[in-house]
Structure 1
Amino acid sequence: MEMKRRKFSREFKIEAVKLVSERGVSVSQACRDLELAESVLRRWMREATVAPATAFPGNGHQRPDQAEIAALKKEVAKLKAERDILKKAAAYFAREAT
């Protein structure tokens, strides 16, 4: 039997965290009520505590630090390609000069 990964909306995650943090429900009780693994809810609580404004960005949305890392990786790949082209051109012209 294949298990399908469940997806939760940002609002659901925020409300689940509020159950514990604001309404005083225990983590284990909230997990039973919401049919979640404790590790999942604890991770959501950690994310909400570390960066409340950017927690749970959703599909297709990256946190600013992740977006910057992706942009830098793209730039590194571009620069490596340019470097390799220049190396080949230098080798070609060095052969032509002799």
Structure 2
Amino acid sequence: MTKRKKYSKEFKLDAISLVVDQGYTKAEAARSMDINANMLGRWIKEEEQDNDQAFRGNGKMTPEQEEIRKLKAQIKQLEMEKKILKEATVFFAKETK
């Protein structure tokens, strides 16, 4: 199975610029950037709909996404601590026998 390619925000904006600013067709721009024309069309649509939040990536999460990420990390930490405490309880129970 092939790995999915990841494109930087700058790459996406450059590809969009070819179509929007320089007058290339989607097919021409996609061919020159070695990407799929449908994907380029999706990037253009995404940029038009939500200019500030388009192509956020992991570096620019919304406040809700950031909170979810922190809570998931906290849950993972608490589950690990719980496991350690259970193992310690079993260990000390064996020691007292």
TM-score by length of 2: 0.61
SS in 1 for 2:44: helix
| In 1: Cα distance, 2:62 partner to 2:13 partner | 16
Residue 63 of structure 1 deviates from its aligned partner by 4.2
Superposed CA RMSD = 2.3
Residue 35 of structure 1 deviates from its aligned partner by 1.1
Aligned residue identity for 1:6: K
Instruction: Give 1:21's aligned residue.
Output: 20
| In 1: Cα distance, 2:18 partner to 2:62 partner | 24
Deviations 1:43-77 (A, max 9, x none): 1000100011111001253346xx27x75xx8xxx
Aligned residue identity for 1:31: A
| In 2: Cα distance, 1:20 partner to 1:44 partner | 11
Aligned residue identity for 2:42: R
Unaligned 5+ runs, structure 2: 72-97
Matched positions, count: 70
Aligned residue identity for 1:30: A
Aligned residue identity for 2:32: D
SS in 2 for 1:17: helix
SS in 2 for 1:56: coil
Q: With a CA cutoff of 8 Å and minimum separation of 6, indicate the structure with the bigger relative contact order.
A: 1
Instruction: Give 2:7's aligned residue.
Output: 8
Q: Identity, % of aligned pairs? A: 34
Unaligned 5+ runs, structure 1: 75-98
